[in-house]
Structure 1
Amino acid sequence: MEKSSFIEVFGESPEIRVLDFFLTFSEFDYPIKQVATEIEAGWTTVENSIKVLVKKGILKETREFGKAKLFALDKENKIAKALLKIDLELSFALAEKSTISVIA
């Protein structure tokens, strides 16, 4: 899996990888197990990262499906809104940088 611009800039810590996942797939909610599978991290690691991001208001629990809790980016949260903008700007900036490198 190719590194996203967000991970390229901010590193590969579990919290950053979880945050990047929710920024990339911000239209839906996801259970911890699916996030762990997608970012190739342990369930407990993802659960702990999600707890931190929920406390900060960046993620929110949306519903329960059986025993699984589902989480999504809280698009009403100012920090989450700012992170979405930063992620988009980073993508544009790094794409522009790589285009310039190819031309040169």
Structure 2
Amino acid sequence: MKSLFIKSLDNTPKIRVLEFLIEGRELDYSISDIAEGAEIGRTTLFRAFDDLVKSGVIVPTRQIGNAKLFRLNKSNSFVRKMVELFDEVIMKKRVGV
């Protein structure tokens, strides 16, 4: 079932990646983890990923072996607004508004 966040914005790979990273905003993830968590294929993720990195929405954090890890860039103004929207949508759903 699609979340209210995805229903509100659209069911695109970028929105699915954003939702996954916003939910786990305190952690960093490998590309495989992001694809699995966003429920999209790696090929689909790669099509959206470069845009998200170039626009500063996602930033690299560290490397473990061959795996490069990424996280949401919480200092990006667009990301801050998306987090606010996500939190508001989720809170309304939990409260039942």
The alignment's TM-score, normalised by the length of structure 1, stands at 0.82
Q: Residues 1-104 of structure 1 correspond to what in structure 2 (within 5 A)?
A: 2-96=1-95, 99=96
Q: Percent identity?
A: 35
Q: d(CA) in 2 for partners of 1:11 and 1:36?
A: 17
Q: Which of these two proteins has the greater Rg computed from alpha carbons?
A: 1
Query: For residues 63 and 48 of structure 1, do their structure 2 counterparts lie closer, same or farther at Cα, with a shift above 3 Å needed?
Result: farther
Runs of 4+ with deviation above 6 angstroms: none
Tell me by how many angstroms 1:12 deviates.
1.1
Amino acid at match of 1:18: V
Number of aligned positions between the proteins: 97
Tell me by how many angstroms 1:5 deviates.
2.2
Q: Residues 56-75 of structure 1, C-alpha deviation per residue, up to 9 Å, x if partnerless?
A: 11110111111111110011
Tell me by how many angstroms 1:18 deviates.
0.6
Q: d(CA) in 2 for partners of 1:38 and 1:48?
A: 16
RMSD: 1.6
